[in-house]
Every structure is written in C-alpha cells, then in structure tokens.
Amino acid sequence: MPLIDNINYPTDIKNLSRKDLKILSGEIRELIIKSVSITGGHLSSNLGVVELTIALHYVFNAPMDKLIWDVGHQTYTHKILTGRKNKMHTLRKKNGLSGFPNRKESPYDEFGAGHSSTSISAAFGISEGLKKSKSKNRAIAIIGDGAMTAGMAFEALNNAGNSQNDLLVILNDNDMSISKNVGAINNYLAKLLSGKFYGGFKSTGKALFSKATPILDLARKTEEHLKGMVIPGTLFEEFGFNYIGPIDGHDIDTLIDTLSNIKSLSGPQFLHVATKKGFGYKPAQDNPNKYHGISEFKPSNNSLKAGELKKTFTDIFSDWIMAQAGTNKKLCAITPAMSDGSGLTVFSKKYPSRFYDVGIAEQHALTFAAGLA
C-alpha cells in the first residue's frame, strides 16, 4: 500500500522514517502531476518544494506553528498533508480547492495572499502577536527568490531584524546560479551554524563582552568576515538575522536536521534553501517556465492540450506592442518581473535597450516610467 494512503494530517508523517519520507515525497509528486494534469495549475513551483514542505510539517507543529507561504501558488504539498489530499482533483474548480492558501478552507492556511512579497511582513506581525500572547510557537515565512526582490520584503526584514521575535524566514531559491554553492561543505556549515553549540557560544560571548563594546564589535566583524568567505548571507546578517545556508532543498535529511536545530534557537533566523523548479519531473525541470501555470495536459506524452495552444490575450498584446515598437523608436517597455506573463519576451530580445525588468516593484516601475517619459 502506498504510504500516501495513510497520510491525512501532519501528525501522520511524524513517525515515518527518513527512508519513508523520501518515498512519500515521490508519491506526493505523482499525485501533484496527476492532479494538475486534470485541473491545470502551477506545476513547476510545486514540484520544487515537496521535500521542504514535508520537512516543515515534520519538524514544526502546524497549525500552532504558523506557516505563511508567499504568493501561495506553491502550496499543493501543504494541502495534501493537511487533510485535502482527496480533493486535489477539484483544484481550482468551482466549489473545489483553491489554488492558493485560503483561511476559509483550512485552519492550516494561516494567511491568505494575493500579491507576492507579503509573507515576511505577515509572519513578523504574527510572531509579534504570538509573543504578546506568551506563546512559544513560531511564525515561518516561505518566500521565493523572485519575491525577495521586492522592496516590501526588505522593509519587513529591516523591521523584523531589530526584534528578538522567534521568526523564521525561509528563502526558497530556485535560481540555478546558486547551485554551485550547494554541497557537502555548505550543508555541514548550515548544521553547524544552526546547532546548539554555535548558538550557545555566540550568546555566551555576547554576555561576556557586553560591557566591552570594542571587543564585541571586533568579534562580530571577525565572525561576519569568516562567514562571508564561505556563505553568501552577510546582507541578511546585517538586517539582524542569523543566516544559515544555502542547503539542498531536496535533501530530506539535511532539511530536517537544520530545521530541528533552528527550532531550538531564539530570535530572527534566515534559512537559505536551494531548490529546482519541476524537480522530479523531467519535462517541467527542463522547461520550468512552460510548466509554471498550465491547463490540462497528458503526463504520458507530456503534451499540453490544444486549448493551451490557442492565441491568448498575452499573445495578442505581444503582437501589438511589437508592431508599435517598429514604428515608434521611443517606445519602451517596463515590467515588474513578468516578461513572460506580460507578453514582453519577444520585445526584450529584439529591443533590449528599450526593455526594463525592474523586479517585483510596481511602485518603482510606475515612478520610473514617469521619470523615463
């Protein structure tokens, strides 16, 4: 009998062996692929966070511990583990499961999201509420590398880093360029830096040198320099977070060990996790953008249905702006990290000097456009 048949809530995975958790991750991937092939949905992003989601529910105790998913389109594994496994075939259908977290749908969906880059602010607010109610539970924000480019995310980091709240921010980084930093050394360092010995030594050092500010400053600078030589987290340390990572987001053992260590730490923590979109399903892994948001498809031959090949509004807009750009040399295009979704891919390739991708920063995009005009 498949393991997934006996999994209805997070408590059901807590007694599974590491070996069984790895088997379960494969079974969950199969269910996600099967469900999305019927209903359509976000495939690549969900296949990339299966192990991370399992590890989070294995180590923490949702819904008492609060999981806040940025945007929320990557929560299919979360839904499967929190009582909605048998409704996955209704995903995004009328009276079916939402494709995003929905507070009315489940007590495990702590915070609804419509826009990206809101999770850290929400998690910090929730952590403050937990502190005021004297709760020992933790707020956890899971945010992607794209969403992390938004100003709001850094505003939240700046504010939260000045607190002593037990807040955990997890950066789900699926940018392939960081893969070179992921390996045995970084996994080892992540475990070391999230361990009790390092945390206790750091706290003891602060207590010993609290009255000797120059010595404490020197120790802090030395620590940051040494960590900066091997791990790319100095920026987040400057915000006031204890940076850990990057670690392999598809290694169940490393994820569980690191999260378990973090659970025993106090104050703001920042965990950098490297994942691959579409992981475990070659067509989506090879072409994650194509399988980002899709309609029904046939897993047997990986073919998208004919309906998806019809011309969309995005295609029509792409044709229109290309025609306009050919006659108006001053026409520029600005997008907040949505070149594909907004039909500007062709424009960006033909007119690179007139194309601006400003990241997920709509306020900046609009004001930049006003200045450019």
**CA–CA separation, 368 and 214 (whole Å):** 43
Tell whether the model's pLDDT for residue 222 goes beyond 80: no
Residue 246: predicted pLDDT: 87
Tell whether the model's pLDDT for residue 219 goes beyond 70: no
Tell whether the model's pLDDT for residue 325 goes beyond 80: yes
Q: What is the mean pLDDT of residues 339-362?
A: 90
Residue 51: predicted pLDDT: 98
Tell whether the model's pLDDT for residue 370 goes beyond 90: yes
Write the CB contacts of 212 (distance below 8 Å, at least 6 apart in sequence): none
Query: Contact at 8 Å (CB) between 287 and 294?
Result: no
Tell whether the model's pLDDT for residue 229 goes beyond 60: no
Sign of CA dihedral 159, 162, 168, 171: positive
Between 190 and 118, whose confidence is greater? 118
% residues pLDDT > 70 (the chain): 79
Query: Contact at 8 Å (CB) between 76 and 41?
Result: yes
The pLDDT tens digits for 138-185 are 999 999 988 888 889 999 999 999 999 999 999 998 864 333 444 554
> Confidence class of residue 300 from pLDDT cuts 50, 70 and 90?
low
The pLDDT tens digits for 15-50 are 999 999 999 999 999 999 999 988 888 888 999 999
> Confidence class of residue 361 from pLDDT cuts 50, 70 and 90?
confident
Q: What is the mean pLDDT of residues 63-67?
A: 98
Write the CB contacts of 58 (distance below 8 Å, at least 6 apart in sequence): 10, 13, 14, 16, 21, 256
Tell which residue, 81, 146, 158, 82, has the closest CA to residue 115.
Answer: 146
- The most confident of the ranges 46-50, 112-116, 291-295 is 46-50
* Mean pLDDT across the chain: 84
Q: What is the mean pLDDT of residues 228-238?
A: 68
Tell whether the model's pLDDT for residue 257 goes beyond 90: yes
Rounded to 10 degrees, the C-alpha dihedral 15/21/27/31 comes to 70
Residue 368: predicted pLDDT: 95
Cite the beta strand spans of 66-165 per DSSP E.
66-69, 139-144
Tell whether the model's pLDDT for residue 307 goes beyond 50: no
pTM of this structure? 0.80
Q: Which two structure tokens, joined as six digits, stand for 268? A: 């703001």
Map out the domains of the chain with their CATH numbers: 3-298 (3.40.50.970), 313-372 (no CATH)
Q: What is the mean pLDDT of residues 113-140?
A: 93
Tell whether the model's pLDDT for residue 133 goes beyond 60: yes
> Confidence class of residue 118 from pLDDT cuts 50, 70 and 90?
very high
Between 117 and 290, whose confidence is greater? 117
> Confidence class of residue 215 from pLDDT cuts 50, 70 and 90?
low
Cite the beta strand spans of the chain per DSSP E.
41-42, 66-69, 139-144, 167-173, 242-248, 269-274, 293-294, 297-298, 303-304, 333-335, 355-357
**CA–CA separation, 179 and 274 (whole Å):** 7
Q: What is the mean pLDDT of residues 196-222?
A: 52
The pLDDT tens digits for 185-201 are 445 455 555 555 455 54
Between 301 and 319, whose confidence is greater? 319
Q: Which two structure tokens, joined as six digits, stand for 2? A: 């498949």
Residue 11: predicted pLDDT: 97
Q: What angle, 0 to 180 degrees and rounded to 10, lies between the N-to-C axes of helices 252-263 and 50-59?
A: 40
